Amino acid sequence: MANKIYIALGSNIESREDFLEKALEKLKEKKIKVVKKSFLYETEPVGEEEQAWFLNQVVEVETSFNPEELLIELQKIEKDLGRVEGKRNGPRKIDLDILFFGDLVVDLPHLKIPHLRLAERKFILEPLNE
């Protein structure tokens, strides 16, 4: 049985929906098959910085990549779509986070699965619950 892998997508720089759609296309190009998609959710940004609201979505995917390889591919997609490293919880064109990778627990300095702040993020829990 394949691992159930869930990835959160988010964008709060226009055109948010276009960035999410482009990210989904890039996943396909990288041999990361989207099995299910949640609805889109508009959510208030986390943190104190004044910024636009986010558009969020969660997808279930299938891939032959292991968790670290998947992280590298997601970071490449973010970079390809113009994401620049900035302030934590700051504005971003695209944000891709691995939420779950089957029942694996990963605790590395650069990768935590399940996602550390999962329980405190309504914008992840609602689409994940679909």
User: Of 16, 18, 80, 97, which residue is the catalytic one?
Assistant: 97
Residue 84 binned pLDDT confidence (cut-offs 50, 70, 90): confident
**Eight-class DSSP state of 119:** G
Q: What total number of domains does the chain contain?
A: 1
| Biggest distance spanned by C-alpha atoms of the chain | 44
More confident residue, 88 or 77: 77
State the pLDDT at residue 116: 72
Specify the pTM.
0.88
Residue 115 binned pLDDT confidence (cut-offs 50, 70, 90): confident
User: Of 80, 83, 88, 103, which residue is the catalytic one?
Assistant: 83
* Residue 117 is among the residues annotated as catalytic for this protein: no
**What HEC string does 55-111 produce?**
EEEEEEEECCCCHHHHHHHHHHHHHHCCCCCCCCCCCCCCEEEEEEECCCCEEECCE
* Residue 103 is among the residues annotated as catalytic for this protein: no
**Eight-class DSSP state of 23:** H
Q: Percent of the chain, pLDDT > 90?
A: 69
State the pLDDT at residue 119: 58
**Structural domain for 61, as ranges:** 5-129
pLDDT in tens, 21-48: 999 999 999 999 999 999 999 988 877 6
Tokens of 43: 């959510």
Residue 47 sits in a domain of what CATH number? 3.30.70.560
For residue 11, cis peptide bond before it (omega within 30 degrees of 0):
no
CA–CA separation, 9 and 92 (whole Å): 11
